[in-house]
Copies of this chain bind each other. A is one copy, B any other.
Amino acid sequence: MKQNVYDNSTFFKAYTNLRESGITYNDFIEQPAIKSIVPNMKGKSVLDLGCGDGHFSKYCIENGAKKVIGIDISTNMIERAKKINGDKHIEYICVPMEDLKLTNQQFDLVISSLSIHYVEDYSALIRNINRLLKSNGEFIFSTEHPIVTARKGTSHWISTEENNKLHWALDNYHEEGKREHDWFVDGVVIYHRTISTLINTLIENGFVLDKIVEPQPTPVGLEKMPKLIHEKRRPSFIIIKSKKLNE
């Protein structure tokens, strides 16, 4: 069964509070990087997979996209998206990205911000995304870096008693699959995949790799959230930009 932790009320409340603070890893590492590599969106049709509260769907419209479909597994998130990021050019649909059909539509751009690590069958998802793209259409996604997701059980900094971070602990890298961690609630499930799996699955399914970004904190981020300095010591996220091959 697909996990829908964003419909857990404890999780949803804590997550919403965090995002509203504007002081997050998303704000200062991932979002600036993904925004820096999206193509010119003027007149484009966009599919936003795991759209959450719709902030990126809205960003696309504000930057010239002519139409966005934002989908998410969580009714909480879709309701929030309609409320705070509604737009007549955006259609929000509550559906898990694994089950998305949309058989009669193809997009110029498929985007997914920090959602794909929740999906168990990456290969099936990539094949479906290929089908949903026009020729030369682009697919850009960010995910937790394999170095962050690899270790089973506790996955964290090794610190001294005075909480000085000594190094990042890596383990279980080649053992792909389910990982459970505690984030607001116990047992949030994500899926660990190696870098080679992330990339080769794209290439094997009709994509050409365009760029990889391992983003670092922005200067403003380092100022407002000083602990981000440690994100220069390990890769936190990976963003992969690719293009559908001509058929």
Contact = CB atoms under 8 A, between A and B. Distances in A.
A1 B210 CA distance: 34
Interface stretch (A88-96, A133-141, A172-180, A183-191): A172-180
A87 interface: no
A151 interface: yes
Given A169-B158, A169-B168, A203-B210, A232 B196 contact: no
B214 A171 contact: no
B234 A212 contact: no
A195 interface: yes
A167 B151 contact: yes
Interface string A44-61: 000000000000000000
Contacts of A208: 208-209
Nearest to A155: B167
Contacts of A232: 173-175
A10 B203 CA distance: 44
A160 to B, nearest CB: 13
Given A170-B167, A173-B234, A232-B175, A199 B194 contact: no
Contacts of A159: none
A206 interface: no
B173 A233 contact: yes
A36 B184 CA distance: 45
Contacts of A211: 200, 203
Interface of A: 147, 151, 158, 166-175, 194-196, 199-200, 203, 208-214, 216, 232-235, 238
A-B pairs with lowest CB-CB distance, top 6: A167-B169, A168-B170, A196-B212, A209-B209, A167-B171, A174-B232
7 contacts: A151-B167, A167-B170, A169-B170, A173-B232, A173-B233, A200-B212, A208-B208
